């Protein structure tokens, strides 16, 4: 395969072309991805985001990886939507700790109009702190997307989870097209999209290529592209499957390949290491940054799964000569001293 032209993002990738990227020799693949990364970003900068579960558990969807689904017994107790002032206090602490974007997640199948006023207040007040705002609230209507945009929401997260062929093995209560429709509503409202998926659920390399092919052929590439590594939760179908047969879980080199291909097919996206980072070695994270990842979640917790604490991340950043995107945050650096 010829060298990737870093200066011409494409929307006409074929699945065969994406699969061919996965098949490149590992060193060549990472080298090409690193060059594309440098064409669009400062490779020494990493975006820091923090995610808060503002409504935990009781979701009507049956996503086979999720501890928050009402379909599975995982020991997680369903909770009500948090009060706006409590969310803003968490956002303020996240900002003071170095986070640049604050994401609010609710375990819903879809947003209900009755919850819009409280969410609009949360969004507006977090925005007033000087942070980028992001939310993941399930499926949206066109009018709801416009209302969230009017409240000051910058990004909306709605993942595709996996490629279309493996999707039926992950969730059956929401169609792939419904996910694509919500992304269209978000784009039409003028918000940025945050959209990626999960790897290590027992899918094949072709399924991973299928996910990235879908993202690369959207009308606009995701502004943020999270790559989650499955954190297997006992009581969930996919979690139990992986816990019973660890060989089905993605290995580290294949994970780095996925990061590199994501960077190549969506060169201007923020490629984020999301769930699963708690179980990654420092060396694996460094490889991911070399291959084009330039965003992480911080704060010790991602919805219901663990993340490294800020002290650990600060030490990693210092050892790799990385800095938070846009500026060096004294609070973040001081945590490692």
| 194 belongs to the catalytic site | yes
**How many whole angstroms separate alpha carbon 28 and alpha carbon 291?**
11
Catalytic residue among 59, 195, 266, 288: 59
| 288 belongs to the catalytic site | no
| 103 belongs to the catalytic site | yes
pLDDT at res. 300:
54
Torsion of CA 241, 246, 248, 250, to 10 degrees: 120
Catalytic residue among 95, 101, 134, 329: 134
Q: What percent of the chain has pLDDT over 70?
A: 90
pLDDT band at 4 (very low <50, low <70, confident <90, very high): low
pLDDT band at 28 (very low <50, low <70, confident <90, very high): very high
Catalytic residue among 95, 179, 194, 263: 194
Rg (Cα) of the chain, in Å, rounded? Answer: 19
| 66 belongs to the catalytic site | yes
Q: What are phi and psi of 179, to 5 degrees?
A: -65, -45
Q: What percent of the chain has pLDDT over 90?
A: 61
| 329 belongs to the catalytic site | no
Q: Say yes or no to pLDDT of 265 above 80.
A: yes
Catalytic residue among 95, 101, 103, 263: 103
Catalytic residue among 208, 272, 277, 329: 272
pLDDT tens digits, 66-114 = 887 778 777 777 788 889 999 999 999 888 888 888 999 888 889 999 9
Cβ-based neighbours of 299, under 8 Å, separated by 6 or more: 50, 51, 94, 97, 99, 307, 310
**How many whole angstroms separate alpha carbon 114 and alpha carbon 265?**
39
Residue 146 and residue 189 in contact, taking contact as beta carbons nearer than 8 Å: yes
């Amino acid at each position: 395969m010829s060298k990737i032209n870093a200066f011409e993002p494409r929307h006409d990738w074929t699945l065969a072309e994406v699969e061919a990227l996965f098949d490149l020799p590992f060193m060549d693949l990472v080298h090409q991805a690193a060059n594309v990364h440098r064409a669009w970003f400062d490779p020494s900068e990493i975006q820091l985001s923090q995610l808060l579960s503002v409504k935990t558990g009781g979701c009507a969807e049956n996503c086979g990886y999720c501890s928050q689904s009402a379909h599975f017994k995982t020991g997680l107790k369903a909770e009500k939507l948090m009060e706006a002032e409590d969310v803003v206090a968490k956002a303020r602490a996240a900002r003071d700790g170095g986070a640049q974007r604050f994401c609010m997640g609710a375990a819903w199948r879809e947003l209900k109009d009755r919850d819009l006023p409280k969410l609009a207040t949360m969004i507006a007040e977090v925005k007033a702190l000087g942070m980028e705002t992001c939310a993941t609230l399930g499926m949206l209507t066109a009018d709801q997307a416009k209302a969230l945009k009017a409240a000051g929401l910058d990004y909306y997260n709605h993942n595709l989870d996996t490629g279309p062929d493996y999707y039926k093995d992950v969730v059956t209560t929401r169609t792939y097209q419904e996910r694509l429709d919500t992304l269209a509503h978000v784009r039409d409202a003028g918000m940025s999209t945050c959209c990626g998926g999960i790897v290590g659920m027992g899918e094949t390399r072709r399924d991973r290529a299928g996910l990235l092919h879908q993202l690369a052929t959207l009308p606009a590439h995701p502004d943020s592209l999270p790559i989650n590594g499955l954190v297997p939760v006992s009581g969930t179908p996919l979690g139990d499957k992986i816990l019973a047969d660890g060989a089905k879980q993605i290995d580290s080199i294949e994970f780095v390949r996925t990061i590199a291909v994501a960077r190549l097919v969506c060169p201007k996206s923020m490629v984020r290491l999301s769930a699963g980072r708690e179980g990654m070695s420092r060396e694996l994270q460094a490889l991911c940054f070399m291959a084009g990842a330039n965003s992480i979640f911080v704060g010790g917790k991602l919805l219901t799964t663990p993340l490294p604490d800020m002290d650990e991340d600060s030490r990693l950043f210092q050892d790799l000569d990385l800095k938070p995107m846009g500026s060096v945050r004294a609070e973040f650096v001081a945590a490692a001293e």
